[in-house]
Amino acid sequence: MVGSRFLFAIPGRVGAAVAQPFQAHAGTGSTSGTIRIISALRMVMEKRRMVPDEAMAMLDGALARLRQEAPLVHNITNQVVSNVTANALLAIGASPAMVQAEEEVGEFVRHARALVINIGTLLAPQRAAMLIAARGAKAAGIPWVLDPVAAGATAYRRSAARDLLSLGPSVLRGNAGEILALAGEAGLSRGVDSLAASTAAREAAGALARQGKGMVVAVTGATDYVTDGTTMLALSNGHPLLTRVTGTGCTATALIGAFLGAGLPPMAAAVAGLTALGVAAEDAALRATGPGSFQVALLDRLHGLEDAAMREAARITPG
């Protein structure tokens, strides 16, 4: 997936292409797509840590299960994307709740099937609420996912992300800069965002996952990587227009939360959430004439996506 971020949507190599008005995107089979497929095939030949069929099996019936369960997903997220996040969760079939007051999150989270924490527009009262909710989720055995937005950008964010990470999320999803910052391998997120591709953060993701005792780490970028510290998968669905709409990275995190709420294990939930968004984005781009219509079509496609179509379009390889 080519994830975007409301906070640091800095066009890197992919962004440079889409910052120009695009003339045509009739299909997902761009040159870079072709390169991706060739590269993926090569990886399949070379690596055998997890064969595609095993990875694909994770997606089996995931959407049907999500829609059957319609899990209540508790979000404490940033004000930029709260509307988009709720709509994406509704579109795919979950039931979003956006309760965020420190006075009530501890009571509320116990009713939820999953918790999503996103530090995008972090304020002090919200930070306190996040810690209460994460502890409550942990105590109640409710899975949760952390989106450490711009974790490396300021001291305030570094400490907030670190505190939350220490509470053991089921899944951590960030871009290369955020994952590197959390792994202590990089300082300021900005520089990393523009310089490093998500490949550069693969090692950091693996290290974080191994340290996290069962935590799954997802690094999103032109190619996404998902790892539990042992297995590493590469996901290649998505479209560059995702970088021209705010909150698509946050949407990815929320969708992972939805699949966690439907009962999928962390690795499967991460793969299903990222693949659902990536495939829906590819469909949406075919109907869009720019980022505005893309955003609309993306919600329509998340709503209309079915398991068979998702599995057929999924591009998952050993990472």
Task: Compute the least distance from the CB of residue 55 to its own copies, in Å.
Answer: 24
Binding to its own copies in span 263-292, by CB under 8 A? 288-292
> Which of 200, 143, 213 lies closest to 174 in space, CA to CA?
200
Tokens of 271: 């793969």
Please pick, from the candidates 176, 233, 276, 299, the single residue that binds its own copies as defined by CB under 8 A: 299
To the question of whether residue 1 is assigned a binding role by annotation, the answer is no
Per CB under 8 A, 157 contacts its own copies = yes
Is the Cβ of residue 76 or residue 200 nearer to its own copies in the bound state? 76
What CA–CA distances, in Å, run from 16 to 11, 137, 263, 287?
6, 40, 39, 22
To the question of whether residue 173 is assigned a binding role by annotation, the answer is yes
Inter-residue contact 225 to 207 (CB < 8 Å): no
What CA–CA distances, in Å, run from 269 to 4, 59, 62, 165, 276?
20, 9, 8, 18, 10
Piece of 5-13, 41-49, 54-62, 223-231 that binds its own copies (CB under 8 A): 5-13
Binding to its own copies in span 47-106, by CB under 8 A? 67, 70, 72, 78-84, 86-87, 90-91, 93, 95-101, 103-104
Please pick, from the candidates 122, 183, 286, 313, the single residue that binds its own copies as defined by CB under 8 A: 122
Alpha carbons 287 and 268: distance in angstroms, whole number: 29
Per CB under 8 A, 197 contacts its own copies = no
Is the Cβ of residue 10 or residue 167 nearer to its own copies in the bound state? 10
Alpha carbons 198 and 173: distance in angstroms, whole number: 12
Per CB under 8 A, 182 contacts its own copies = no
To the question of whether residue 247 is assigned a binding role by annotation, the answer is yes
Per CB under 8 A, 21 contacts its own copies = yes
Alpha carbons 167 and 135: distance in angstroms, whole number: 7
